[in-house]
């Protein structure tokens, strides 16, 4: 768990500072420094983790509040004579609201990725722990714009829809590695390799011991950029098998989320007002976060 | 094996070396030209020569004057011996990138004949320079005048044998080898092998082995580039050959690990022979844990039994026979731990400090901010903070220990953390291989300090 107490700057500011550093490094003399950018990406990841933990805590509290209010309303409308039916109705409503909540979780994923494999995703698994439901419906939450913007902040890919700043087609990136002459396309998170390049790759694979010894005469061109992966969430989302191999930090992230979700809710009523105010006040950093997708795709390849 | 953390005890007293000012080289004015920023400092194997490299691609070599026997308290001084432009800025048209001429490292070759040889490197190209003296000049050519003009053959009536006559000493530096196109990423280290035939060069992801005579090819011995760059989690930060075992080298990583490799085990040393790593203290975890654990320098001890690593806040001494933790850990400037946020914002957290051993491996030295540098005495478990400053520049003036006040009431003569000047950093230091003479580089000045002789 990251100790944020010593830091005078909050997670959001750290994210924007880090993104600025990565952006500035592109125009630095001498070329992009791989080492420094890697370290900055770690800070970015750490700050995002803290930020998303805080955000999920807020969302969960909001969601719990919505559930409570719904149930309260239902109870108020209850006619003592309709008790039996209403029990079923109530259960249905609970499920219904749970469905809504699950679809809220679903809405946290990019629309194109709401497959059963999404069960492996950290936030949805955290959602499904208390709710035990999975839905593929598009988010029907009462305040879609709010939740969607939260989604946008969490998953860069979904920013395509919401961020006016990002004009890039952000679910496709092409990388040319002049070391190996392999052209790689990252599309919707899945790695493709162009046919001709893959043939070459096979040949290269067979000769790899010799290749290792050969002199690296080639320079590489950083035409289109490749993202150093600093979001464990993103990797887990795109490859089920890689989930098991994600860094230990991911596990701790889950346990943090579960502990947050399991901790119950307090002060929910006041939370609503705080949240609305927070939304307005933090517009600038939200924009920075919303444009996270643009920046992540703009990271230079190596 | 010793273990534990050295803390400041008392300064002064019996066996402590007292350091005094000897010389300072470089411009006095505060307006520092970027090209003059010193980027590397290195003594040669005898300590007679001291080389510096700067951001402008220049190499300046100082030579120690032969000692004046009649005045033993006047330790010999270092004077400029040779200056030459080692690297020029280049432009890589393929990448549309400028290649900086900044000298990242200089390493001397052991002396074999009258000439001196050193390797200097920028981000991409390593060069072997020969530095030779000329103190005689041939005179009395038959076909040429003294100024070089050719004589009219018809006017030659006699023949004579040309002779060498003494001339003012001239030191010439000439590039003998250029080792180019070996690295895709930025070179951070070079290290000459004890076999005096080969050397290694390391960039962020690869380490190459070169033969000093062969420039058109090199062997790649370490390659940590992942197949998918998105999976990149660490880079190589420094590498060095073992001082005696020509088959052994180490490289450090941005994750705080050191790998020892044996070239006899396999041609490609992606698999290490030993992995040195200390588990992270979970209570110290912060946003910047990864940055401050990145190792900026690794140096073998002269006896080859230990190695020292420098990360942002500490110096660690490792016994090569113990991989799971260092035998000694020294805090360089622990008071900065609570300032990491600000240091991240102003980029200081990315500063790469070097470290060095003294001749008998009993004391290690490293730099800090505010032009402070730290001497860590391993045998006496003492440490002292000294300052390289123009204010302590009187000849043979003894350096006074400095103290930083981390918090609370500031005592007299202490400086508070918030008053430290983070633009004044000492990244590069060097220790004479035999004597207690140290070279400390501030931004654009080189200070030479010597042990006080009573």
Length of chain A: 302
B64-91 pLDDT, tens digit per residue, is 988 765 665 556 799 999 999 999 999 9
* Per-domain residue ranges of chain A: 4-293
B242 has a pLDDT exceeding 90: yes
Range B284-318 burial, b when 16+ CB lie within 10 A, else e: eebbbbbbbbbbbbbbbbeeeebbbbbbbbbbbbb
**What CATH number has the domain spanning B39-148+167-451?**
2.130.10.10
B335/A contact by beta carbon, under 8 A? no
Answer whether B119's CB lies under 8 Å from B126's CB.
Answer: yes
Q: What was the pLDDT predicted at A120?
A: 37
Please indicate whether, in this complex, the C-beta atoms of B290 and A220 are within 8 angstroms of each other: no
Give me the half-sphere count of Cα atoms (radius 13 Å) on the Cβ side of residue A113: 26
Please indicate whether, in this complex, the C-beta atoms of B95 and A221 are within 8 angstroms of each other: yes
From the list A8, A35, A179, the residue facing B235 with the nearest CB is A35
Contacts of A5 by beta carbon, 8 Å cutoff, 6+ apart: none
B121 has a pLDDT exceeding 90: yes
A7 has a pLDDT exceeding 80: no
Pairing of strands B5-6, B328-331: parallel
* Listed residue (B276, B259, B372) closest to B316, CA to CA: B276
How many Å lie between the alpha carbon of B173 and the closest alpha carbon of chain A?
A: 26
A92 has a pLDDT exceeding 50: no
Using CA atoms, how far residue B78 sits from A54, B29, B60, B63, B187, in Å, is: 60, 21, 12, 5, 29
B105 has a pLDDT exceeding 80: yes
B323 has a pLDDT exceeding 90: yes
DSSP A98-130: HHHHHHHHHHTS-GGG-SGGGGGSHHHHHHHHH
Residues of chain B numbered 349-368 and touching chain A (CB < 8 Å): 350
Torsional sign, CA A211, B199, B429, B105: negative
How many beta-carbon pairs below 8 A join chains A and B?
135
From the list A29, A34, A215, the residue facing B218 with the nearest CB is A215
Preferred mutation among A38, A204, A238 to probe B, highest tally of B CBs within 10 A: A38
Please indicate whether, in this complex, the C-beta atoms of B94 and A47 are within 8 angstroms of each other: no
Give A-chain residues touching B230 at CB under 8 angstroms: 186, 226-229, 235
What's the pLDDT band for B251 if we cut at 50, 70, 90? very high
Give B-chain residues touching A228 at CB under 8 angstroms: 229-230, 232
CA-CA distance, B162 to B145, in Å (whole number)?
12
B84/A contact by beta carbon, under 8 A? no
DSSP 3-state assignment of B52?
Answer: strand
How many Å lie between the alpha carbon of A34 and the closest alpha carbon of chain B?
A: 7
Q: What was the pLDDT predicted at A31?
A: 83
CA-CA distance, A237 to B253, in Å (whole number)?
29
Residue tagged 């006896």 (tokens): B303
Give the pair of three-digit tokens for residue B23.
Answer: 């010389």
DSSP 3-state assignment of B197?
Answer: coil
Give B-chain residues touching A38 at CB under 8 angstroms: 232-235, 254
Q: Is B147 left (phi over 0), alpha (psi -120 to 50) or beta?
A: alpha
A101-160 pLDDT, tens digit per residue, is 333 333 333 333 333 333 333 333 333 333 333 333 333 334 333 333 333 333 333 333
Element (H, E) at B340: helix B340-345
Q: Exposed, middle or buried, B365 (CB in 10 Å: 0-12/13-18/19+)?
A: buried
B160/A contact by beta carbon, under 8 A? no
From the list A9, A218, A219, the residue facing B341 with the nearest CB is A9
A27-54 pLDDT, tens digit per residue, is 888 888 999 999 999 999 999 999 998 8
* Listed residue (B159, B205, B161, B164) closest to B182, CA to CA: B205
B281/A contact by beta carbon, under 8 A? no
pTM reported for the whole predicted model: 0.70
CA-CA distance, B216 to B260, in Å (whole number)?
27
Please indicate whether, in this complex, the C-beta atoms of B235 and A213 are within 8 angstroms of each other: no
Give the highest mean pLDDT range of A116-120, A211-215, B152-156: B152-156
Q: What was the pLDDT predicted at B324?
A: 95
Using CA atoms, how far residue B321 sits from B249, B261, B272, B309, B327, in Å, is: 14, 13, 14, 15, 10
What's the pLDDT band for A5 if we cut at 50, 70, 90? low
DSSP 3-state assignment of A175?
Answer: strand
């Amino acid at each position: 768990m990251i100790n944020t107490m010593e830091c005078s700057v909050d997670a959001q500011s750290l994210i924007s500072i880090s993104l600025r550093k990565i952006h500035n490094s592109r125009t630095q003399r001498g070329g992009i420094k791989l080492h420094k950018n890697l370290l900055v990406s770690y800070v970015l990841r750490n700050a995002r983790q803290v930020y998303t933990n805080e955000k999920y805590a807020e969302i969960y509290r909001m969601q719990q509040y919505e559930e409570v209010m719904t149930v309260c309303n239902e109870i108020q409308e209850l006619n003592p004579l309709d008790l039996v039916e209403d029990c079923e109705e109530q259960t249905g409503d609970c499920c219904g609201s749970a469905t809504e909540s699950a679809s809220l979780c679903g809405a946290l994923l990019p629309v194109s990725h709401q497959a059963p494999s999404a069960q492996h995703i950290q936030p949805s698994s955290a959602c499904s722990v208390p709710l035990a439901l999975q839905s593929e419906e598009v988010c029907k939450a009462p305040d879609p714009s709010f939740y969607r913007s939260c989604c946008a902040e969490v998953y860069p890919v979904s920013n395509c829809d919401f961020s006016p700043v990002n004009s890039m087609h952000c679910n496709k990136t092409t990388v040319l590695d002049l070391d190996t002459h392999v052209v790689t396309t990252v599309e919707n998170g899945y790695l493709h390799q162009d046919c001709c390049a893959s043939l070459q790759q096979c040949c290269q694979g067979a000769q790899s011991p010799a290749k290792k010894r050969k002199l690296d005469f080639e320079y590489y061109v950083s035409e289109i950029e490749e993202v150093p992966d600093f979001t464990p969430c993103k990797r887990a989302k795109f490859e089920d098998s890689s989930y098991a191999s994600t860094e230990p930090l991911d596990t701790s992230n889950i346990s943090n989320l579960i502990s947050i979700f399991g901790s119950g809710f307090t002060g929910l009523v006041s939370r609503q007002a705080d949240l609305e105010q927070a939304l307005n006040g933090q517009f600038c950093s939200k924009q920075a976060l919303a444009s996270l997708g643009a920046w992540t795709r703009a990271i230079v390849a190596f | 094996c010793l273990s534990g953390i050295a803390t400041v005890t008392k300064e002064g007293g019996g066996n402590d070396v007292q350091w005094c000012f000897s010389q300072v080289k470089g411009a006095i004015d505060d307006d520092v030209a970027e090209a003059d920023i010193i980027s590397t400092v290195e003594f040669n194997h005898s300590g007679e020569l001291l080389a510096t490299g700067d951001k402008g691609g220049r190499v300046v070599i100082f030579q120690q004057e032969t000692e004046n026997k009649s005045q033993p308290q006047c330790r010999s001084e270092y004077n400029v011996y040779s200056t030459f432009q080692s690297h020029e800025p280049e432009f890589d048209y393929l990448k549309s990138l400028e290649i900086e001429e900044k000298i990242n490292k200089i390493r001397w070759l052991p002396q074999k004949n009258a000439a001196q040889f050193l390797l200097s490197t920028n981000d991409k190209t390593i060069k072997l320079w020969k530095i030779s003296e000329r103190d005689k000049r041939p005179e009395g050519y038959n076909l040429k005048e003294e100024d070089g003009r050719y004589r009219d053959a018809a006017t030659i009536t006699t023949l004579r044998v040309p002779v060498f006559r003494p001339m003012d000493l001239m030191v010439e530096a000439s590039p003998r080898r250029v080792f180019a196109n070996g690295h895709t990423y930025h070179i951070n280290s070079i290290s000459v092998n004890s076999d005096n035939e080969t050397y290694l060069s390391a960039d962020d992801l690869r380490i190459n082995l070169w033969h000093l005579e062969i420039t058109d090819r090199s062997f790649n011995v370490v390659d940590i580039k992942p197949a998918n760059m998105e999976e990149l989690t660490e880079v190589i930060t420094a590498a060095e050959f073992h001082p005696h075992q020509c088959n052994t080298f180490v490289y450090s990583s941005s994750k705080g690990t050191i790998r020892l490799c044996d070239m006899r085990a396999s041609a490609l040393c992606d698999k290490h022979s030993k992995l040195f790593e200390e588990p992270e203290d979970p209570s110290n975890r912060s946003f910047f844990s990864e940055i401050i654990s990145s190792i900026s320098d690794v140096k073998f001890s002269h006896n080859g039994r230990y190695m020292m690593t420098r990360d942002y806040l500490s110096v660690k001494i490792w016994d090569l026979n113990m991989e799971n933790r260092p035998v000694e850990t020294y805090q360089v400037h622990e008071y900065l731990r609570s300032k990491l946020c600000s240091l991240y914002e102003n980029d200081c957290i990315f500063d790469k400090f070097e470290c060095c051993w003294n001749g008998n491996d009993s004391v290690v030295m490293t730099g800090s901010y505010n032009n402070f540098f730290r001497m860590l005495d391993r045998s006496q478990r003492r440490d002292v903070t000294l300052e390289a400053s123009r204010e302590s520049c009187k000849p043979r003036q003894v350096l006074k220990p400095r103290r930083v006040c981390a918090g609370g009431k500031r005592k007299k003569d202490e400086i508070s953390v918030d008053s430290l000047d983070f633009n004044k950093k000492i990244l590069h230091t060097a220790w004479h291989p035999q004597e207690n003479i140290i070279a400390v580089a501030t931004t654009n000045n080189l200070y030479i300090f010597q042990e006080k002789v009573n």
